Chain A
């Protein structure tokens, strides 16, 4: 075990016992970044100077006996969360040189724990994508097989945790963007309940679906990070004013008597046999651990989730991205004769192909004559999907599904077929539509490629899914495997 491979809780014990300093740990992570980054390409910005300053400060605090579970431990932030004084690009040409004048709430909360920010993670442009291939800067490679995608949109965050370039990372999840890359890179990734974590300072993609969450090496770390970032924020009126529990208290490894359902619609046509097999084995393990499994749960509106998502998310995106007009910040095309021409050219050259596609799709769905048939219809089917989850959770404590129907695909394999690309999120999209929490944890490999298991909970029952995920990790060691890189 080398220093950069430590979990948060392991590093914390060493820091507390003064057997390790934050500067040493930070240098180990930065060294690892410089070693593997030419191949993995997970980071848009490496903030080494800032990191070492923060590490020195953390060491001073620790020497004075002031230590929190995250103090002095390196973290990587997805590049759609505002970091004051550090570029926040959204992996877009539009924001390539944007330096935010303020911090996102989650960044403020981490800073209050005296963390060490080592950089900003690559992503699909404006978080629209499933592979990081839509990044306008470069594509991130999967550390388990460099010819394959790491998933997306938080692909940089997931790949960096898998390759031990950072101890943990933050990602954002609108339709699977934390969980799908967590599954593809064999790390632990949680999308909290909508409203659990403040979205203030998160560059908006689809405001009714976006949520920030941790990508970590295990469930204990995930609970520690959630403790730090969860909670009400008056600056985000959709964050909920509910008390936040200590999420480490539920990690007991005892899941006896819990009722878990397996919705059959998630074992979709086109699912790889290896994924289905691994999933059955993982669910059998949960049964062995004392959970009661019902294999015959049905959520019949699941097949409509893809269409609902790809109407609602682009509609919200088309409204959110209207702000990029070349006037206040971001890329601005000056080579134009009029205000309208300048705006159209700014958006033409500042946005990449997928962002344009979604703006067009969303604008169409919201336009006169089509609003009722597309946007309103999708919102109504959204209600049906939510109700199905509500009904299922009257009977079950949690639902378990694969995170993605396939193992990571090859770079380039799906770029020319947007629908094929959208299908890689078919198991994760319904969760954002319903607003419920879900976690992806490592659940096996097929020919050396990771397979993720998704555990879904009731609204604000993060404790239940963390508990199940933790129990599984206590009984298995998939999450401890590291890629050879």
Chain B
């Protein structure tokens, strides 16, 4: 299992992760090596075995629809790189 340069770039795009040329080459090699090691998993017979998403028996935990106190906008916005009035300032999505 050898990841091509195109595959690495495709995954990076899905993850919205900018990579330098050096990183593309290094990650391609390292991920190929790791995935090759994980091939062994395919030998395990998992016919009729259900997947486990989490290890405890809780399911569909719901809570009452009650209004509770939340943080004031000033505190929520305190870490914002860019803000305007009570909003996060973002770049244009459609140009």
A residues near B, CB below 8 A?
A: 97-99, 101-102, 193-195, 208, 234, 237-238, 240, 301, 303-304, 307-308, 310-311, 318, 322, 325-330, 332, 334, 338-345, 347-349, 351, 356-357, 359-361, 363-364, 367, 373-374, 376-384, 386, 418-419, 433-436, 459
Contacts and interface: CB of A to CB of B under 8 A. Distances in A.
A311 B40 CA distance: 13
Contacts of A332: 81-82
A381 B40 CA distance: 11
B30 A384 contact: no
A356 B23 contact: yes
Interface size of B as a range: 35 or more
Given A382-B51, A382-B52, A304 B16 contact: no
A367 B11 contact: yes
A101 B44 contact: no
Contact of A99 (B61, B63, B78): B78
Given A101-B78, A386-B52, A338 B58 contact: no
Nearest to A326: B81
A412 B17 CA distance: 26
A311 B41 CA distance: 11
B22 to A, nearest CB: 11
Interface in B75-95: 75-76, 78-82, 88, 90-93, 95
A343 to B, nearest CB: 5
B93 to A, nearest CB: 6
Contact of B19 (A311, A339, A348, A382): A348
B55 A434 contact: yes
A326 B70 CA distance: 23
Given A101-B76, A237-B61, A379-B53, A308 B17 contact: no
B55 A357 contact: no
Given A99-B79, A380-B51, A360 B15 contact: yes
Given A101-B71, A237-B61, A194 B54 contact: yes
Nearest to B64: A234
Interface in B22-77: 23, 27, 30-31, 33-35, 37-38, 40-42, 44, 46, 49-56, 58, 61, 63, 71, 75-76
B55 A347 contact: no
A12 B40 CA distance: 52
Contacts of A382: 51-52
Nearest to A418: B30
B54 A310 contact: no
Contact of A363 (B15, B34, B51): B15
Interface of B: 3, 8, 11-12, 14-20, 23, 27, 30-31, 33-35, 37-38, 40-42, 44, 46, 49-56, 58, 61, 63, 71, 75-76, 78-82, 88, 90-93, 95
26 contacts: A234-B63, A308-B41, A327-B81, A329-B79, A330-B79, A330-B81, A332-B82, A338-B95, A339-B92, A344-B18, A345-B18, A347-B18, A348-B18, A348-B20, A349-B18, A356-B27, A359-B17, A360-B12, A360-B17, A361-B31, A379-B51, A382-B52, A384-B49, A418-B30, A435-B54, A435-B55
Contacts of A360: 8, 11-12, 15, 17, 27, 31
Contacts of B14: 363, 367
A65 to B, nearest CB: 32
Given A301-B44, A357-B27, A208 B37 contact: no
Given A237-B63, A347-B15, 9 more contacts: A194-B56, A307-B37, A338-B91, A342-B91, A356-B27, A360-B12, A382-B51, A419-B34, A433-B55
A240 B54 CA distance: 13
A98 B76 CA distance: 12
Given A357-B30, A373-B42, A383 B52 contact: yes
A344 B31 contact: no
B61 A381 contact: no
A301 B93 CA distance: 48
A308 B14 CA distance: 22
A418 to B, nearest CB: 6
Contacts of A330: 79, 81
Nearest to A331: B81
A339 B91 contact: yes
B39 to A, nearest CB: 9
A1 B8 CA distance: 56
Max chain A CB contacts within 10 Å: which of B3, B19, B33, B91?
Answer: B91
A377 B78 contact: no
B44 A384 contact: yes
A304 B15 contact: no
Contacts of B18: 341, 344-345, 347-349
Contacts of B30: 357, 418
Contacts of B27: 356-357, 360
Max chain A CB contacts within 10 Å: which of B27, B75, B79?
Answer: B79
Contacts of A349: 18
Contacts of B20: 348
Contacts of B44: 301, 304, 377, 380-381, 384
A429 B40 CA distance: 17
A307 B49 contact: no
